[in-house]
Chain A
Amino acid sequence: MTLLRQTYLLLSKDLLIELRRRDSLLTMFFFGTLLLFVFHFAFDLPPDKVAELAPALLWLAFLFTGTLGLAQLFQAERDNHCLDALLLSPLDRGALFLAKTGFNFVLMFVVELVVIPLFWVLFNLSAWNLLPQLFLVTLLGTAGFCVLGTITAAITLRARARELLLPLVLFPLMIPVILATIRCMESIMTTGGMTAAMPWLRLLTGFDVIFLTIGILIFDWVIES
C-alpha cells in the first residue's frame, strides 16, 4: 500500500513539474510529428503502400521520441542533487522506479494518442475503426519500452555521453517489443481482427510483466549512489 502511495506522490510531483514547464511533452510531440514528415520525404510513400508500412514507421517514430523522453527522465533529479535528497528520504526504491516508468509512459502515450490519428490524416488511411485495437498494442508496447527504458536510463545516468549510450544499450534489449508490436499491428491492419495477433500480444504482455517485476526488485541496486 505504501508502495502505491509513494508512487502516486512521486508521479504527481513529476507530472506537476511537467505541466508547469511542458519541456519534454512538447519536444517529444514535435519531434514525433517531424519524423512523420521526414519519413514521407524519405520514402515518398505511395498511397497503396502506406497501410503496409504504417506500423513500422509509427514505431520508429515512437522509439526515437521515447528515447528523447528517457534522456530527460532523470534531468530534474540530476539538477541540484535532488536525486540524493530523494534517496535520503525513507522511500521505497521500487516506488521511484514505478513513478519514473509511469511518468515516461504518460508522456509517450499522450504523444502517441495524437501522432497515430495524425498519421491517419496525413497519409489518408481509411481504417479508423481499427484504432482501438492498435492503441491497445501501442499501450502494451509503450509499457515495455518505458519499463526497460527506465532501468537503462538509470544505469547510464552517471556515464559520459549518456544520451548516446542510452539507445545503444536499450535498443538491442528492446528487440522483442519492437518485433511484437510491429507484427501485431501489421496483422491487425491486414486481417482487421485480433486473433492472428494473439501470440505476439502474449509475448508483449509477458515482457511487460517480467521486466516490471525485475525492475521493482532490482531498482535498489540500480539507483544507488
Chain B
Amino acid sequence: MAQSTAAVKKRKGILGGLALLAIIAGLCWSLFVAPPDAYQGEVQRIMYLHLPSILTAYLSYFLVFIGSGMYLWKREKKDDLLAHAAAELGVLFTALTIVEGSIWGKPTWGVWWTWDARLTLTAILLLIYAGYLMLRSLIDDEQRAASAAAILGIIGFLDIPLIHMSVYWWRTLHQPPSILRPDKKPWENVHPAMLTALAISFVGFLLLYFYLLSLRYRVGEMRQEIKALRLERGT
C-alpha cells in the first residue's frame, strides 16, 4: 500500500514536472520564436494561452459528462469523484479563458466585454458549472448529491449545443476561426512558428490539466478515506 502510493506520487511528480517544462517551452516559443500577428501585433500572443485554456475547459466538461454517465450506470464512487474534480477544473479554466479574453479584447476591440456569441456561450458555461458545484455543496446526503450532480452534468452537457446554436443566431462578432478554416489548410494560412507555439502550449495545458485533475481526484479520495476511518472508530 505504502509503496504503491509512493509510486503514484512519483508518477504525479513527473507529470507535474513535464507540465511545467512544456508550459515554459510554450511560453518561450510563443513570446520569442513566433512572429507577431500581421494586424494585431504583439497582443495577439495571448492567443497561445487563450485557445489552450478554452479547449482544456471543454475537455473538462466532457469528462464531467462521462463521469456523470458512468456514475449513474455503475454507481461507483470513483466516477463521481472524477466528475466533481473535472467540474471544478472546468470552472477554473473557463474563468481563466474569460480573463485572458478580456485582456485581449480591450486593446483589439476596445472593450473588456461584449455580448458576442462565443463570449456569451463561455459565460453561460461558467454559470452552468458554477451552479453544478453549488448544487453539490448544498445537498448534505452524499449519495443524493452525487446522483443529483450527475443528472445536471448530463443535462448541462447536452444543453451546450442548443445554447451554442441559439447564441450564434443571436449575434456574432468574435473573429472567425483562423486556424481551422474550410477554405485553407492550417499551414497555408498561419505562420508555422505560430502553429508550433500553439501546439506546445496546448500540450503544456493538457499536462497541467491532468496533473491538477489527479491532485483534485486524490483530495476527493482522501476525503472518502477520512470518512471511512471516522466511521470505523466511531467518532
**A residues near B, CB below 8 A?**
148, 151-152, 155-156, 158-162, 165, 168-169, 171-173, 175-176, 179-180, 183, 199-200, 203, 206-207, 210-211, 214, 218, 221-222, 224
Contact = CB atoms under 8 A, between A and B. Distances in A.
A159 B138 contact: yes
B135 A169 contact: yes
Contacts of B141: 158
A222 B151 contact: yes
B159 A173 contact: yes
Interface of B: 72, 124, 127-128, 131-132, 134-135, 138-141, 144, 147-148, 150-152, 154-156, 158-159, 162-163, 165-167, 169-170
Contact of A151 (B124, B151, B167): B151
A206 B161 CA distance: 11
Contacts of A152: 152
Contacts of A158: 139-141, 144, 148
21 contacts: A151-B155, A155-B148, A156-B135, A156-B138, A158-B140, A158-B144, A159-B139, A165-B134, A165-B135, A168-B131, A169-B134, A173-B156, A179-B166, A179-B169, A199-B169, A203-B162, A203-B169, A211-B155, A218-B72, A221-B72, A222-B147
B167 A175 contact: yes
Identify whether the interface residues of B are mostly helix, strand, loop, or mixed. helix
Nearest to A221: B72
A218 B154 CA distance: 10
Identify whether the interface residues of A are mostly helix, strand, loop, or mixed. helix
A162 B154 CA distance: 20
A193 to B, nearest CB: 18
Contact of B162 (A161, A162, A199, A207): A207
A160 B154 contact: no
